[in-house]
């Protein structure tokens, strides 16, 4: 079974991925993790990716796809995989198809923009210890201060709301053609991800269980 989870950062894909891997016996592949692993292990694609990143260039579709392809050929992915963060563009999806990696299900985690921004844009950190807080979900006892030391908290540049807004806009611009691409293949489903974890899991299972039965994986 070959599954893609789609959705903006903070939509809950990472929370649900372990459920999918456990239920269907597939491996979980996160683009960021795969990229870091390839660089650390100094694979040919990892060396090329590091060179691009060190020079400030974007890692090309071809390089990212090469790293993904290396990962899905590992023994632990022999029963399939759930991809988190790839493909990001229609071009990457076409490369998957051309390589014979036919996707069984592409699930979009539909979450309101304000919820995404609330989750991603409210994090604050204590520099000395790395303790993290969230304005809504895990606020400090005193606003802007570390609970233990009382020292000021800081916010990473990419956690600031204005940056998160731009990232969300870019994500939607990239992903809309990708959603249309998978709709045309009859494998796309959008689910309401702005619910409790168990309710979202029920929706995922209702989509994937029939496929798992058909493929002998469930």
From 49-58, 176-185, 205-214, the region with the lowest mean pLDDT: 49-58
Report the distance separating Cα 96 and Cα 121, nearest Å: 32
Report the distance separating Cα 48 and Cα 70, nearest Å: 14
pLDDT reported for residue 167? 83
Q: Does 214 have pLDDT greater than 70? A: no
Give the residue, 158 or 65, on which the prediction is more confident: 65
Residue range of the domain that includes 115: 2-215
Report the distance separating Cα 90 and Cα 4, nearest Å: 13
pLDDT reported for residue 9? 81
Give mean pLDDT, residues 76-97. 91
Give mean pLDDT, residues 61-83. 90
Give the residue, 182 or 167, on which the prediction is more confident: 182
pLDDT reported for residue 101? 93
Q: What is the pLDDT of residues 186-198, one digit of tens each?
A: 999 999 999 999 9
Give mean pLDDT, residues 50-72. 82
Other beta carbons within 10 Å of 203: 18
Known catalytic residues are 13, 88, 123, 156, 167
- Select the highest-mean-pLDDT range: 48-52, 120-124, 140-144, 157-161: 140-144
**Cβ-defined contacts of 91-97 (< 8 Å, 24+):** 91/61, 92/61, 92/64, 92/65, 93/178, 93/181, 93/182, 94/181, 95/61, 95/62, 95/65, 96/65, 96/68
Contact 65, 96 (CB under 8 A): yes
Give mean pLDDT, residues 93-97. 95
pLDDT reported for residue 80? 94
What's the number of domains the chain is made of?
1
Q: What is the pTM of this model?
A: 0.82
Q: What is the CATH number of the domain that holds 81?
A: 3.40.50.300
């Amino acid at each position: 079974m070959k599954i893609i989870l789609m959705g903006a950062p903070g939509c809950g894909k990472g929370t649900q991925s372990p459920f999918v891997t456990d239920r269907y016996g597939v491996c979980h592949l996160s683009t960021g993790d795969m990229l870091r692993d390839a660089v650390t292990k100094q694979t040919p694609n990892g060396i090329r990716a590091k060179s691009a990143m060190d020079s400030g260039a974007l890692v090309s579709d071809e390089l990212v796809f090469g790293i993904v392809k290396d990962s899905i050929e590992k023994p632990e992915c022999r029963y399939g995989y759930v991809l988190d963060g790839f493909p990001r563009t229609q071009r990457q999806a076409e490369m998957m198809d051309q390589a014979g990696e036919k996707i069984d299900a592409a699930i979009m985690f539909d979450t309101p923009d304000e919820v995404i921004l609330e989750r991603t844009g409210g994090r604050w950190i204590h520099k000395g210890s790395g303790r993290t807080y969230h304005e809504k979900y895990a606020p400090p006892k005193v606003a802007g201060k570390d609970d233990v030391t009382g020292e000021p908290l800081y916010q990473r540049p990419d956690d600031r709301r204005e940056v998160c807004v731009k990232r969300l806009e870019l994500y939607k611009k990239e992903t809309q053609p990708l959603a249309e691409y998978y709709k045309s293949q009859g494998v796309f489903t959008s689910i309401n991800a702005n619910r409790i974890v168990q309710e979202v899991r029920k929706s995922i299972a209702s989509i994937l269980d029939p496929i798992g039965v058909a493929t002998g994986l469930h």
